Structure 1
Amino acid sequence: MTRNHTENNGLVQVVLQSAGTLHPGTIALIGDGLFFDIGGRLRNPHHDPQMRYRTGLEPEVRSHVLSTPGADTVINEIMDATRAILHGYADPRRRLVKVTVACRGGRHRSVAIAEQVAEYLRAEDDICVEVEHRHVGLPVVENQL
């Protein structure tokens, strides 16, 4: 699922993607840019049978992820690193930061965190962000650690 936001003169400045490390080919998706594996840092909704087959795009799942101890820290780390790189470019017309947020299955934690980071960057910094969820529509990986 891709969502484009072009409030800032139509120039995308940050591309945020969520992904699941248990899916084949995930490492190839990362390429250049920032990479945050949050799989071991936040409570996994996958372990709750009521949330397992849902996604981080749903308010209940997103709330579950964002209320996990440490979620604010993870979000701030991603935002700080993104801002540092974004504002480090001398030519603002050439600014584009790619950020990958990964968890195990790419359906819950990485999706919710990527959405929250995008929301904050748009609101606080007027940064134009594109969000792409690479694995949110794939079948649930049943054997997650």
Structure 2
Amino acid sequence: MSKIRITKQFSFETGHALYGYDGKCKNVHGHSYKLSVTVIGTPITDTSNVKYGMVIDFTDLKKIVKEEIVDLFDHATVFNKNTPHVELAQELSDRGHHVILVDYQPTSENMVIDFAKKIQDRLPGGIQLHSLRLQETESSFAEWFSSDNI
């Protein structure tokens, strides 16, 4: 049977700041991110299976991505915990803001690597993550492909 790729798209709002950066993005700011998640697999051929004909139910893929990424990152501010931004993060947290501390510079490139790992760890057997595309602005995005990361 043929391998098929399916894609589901998500959107979320996230703030961040790039510590040590030499441009405007050193300031706390936000983006309306768009995340495209593409998985690859073989459609189920068992006619008695309720998921017959599907690689993965879009609802199941949505559950994984929402739990691992969207619900966590939506309307949060992300800072690198290994920088002085940790003090700002603590102040915001103390004031009731949703803050995520990561161990990397929160660029689109690093975020998409983090997201790939989180999604891969949750996919059922026989389904592989093919690619991710994290769009930060209308004209800027980072992409991750499994074939580049073997």
Taking structure 2 as the reference length, the TM-score comes to 0.30
TM-score for the superposition, normalised by structure 1: 0.31
Higher helix proportion, which one?
A: 1
* Structure ranking higher on relative contact order (CA contacts 8 Å, 6+ apart): 1
Q: Which of the pair has more CA radius of gyration?
A: 2
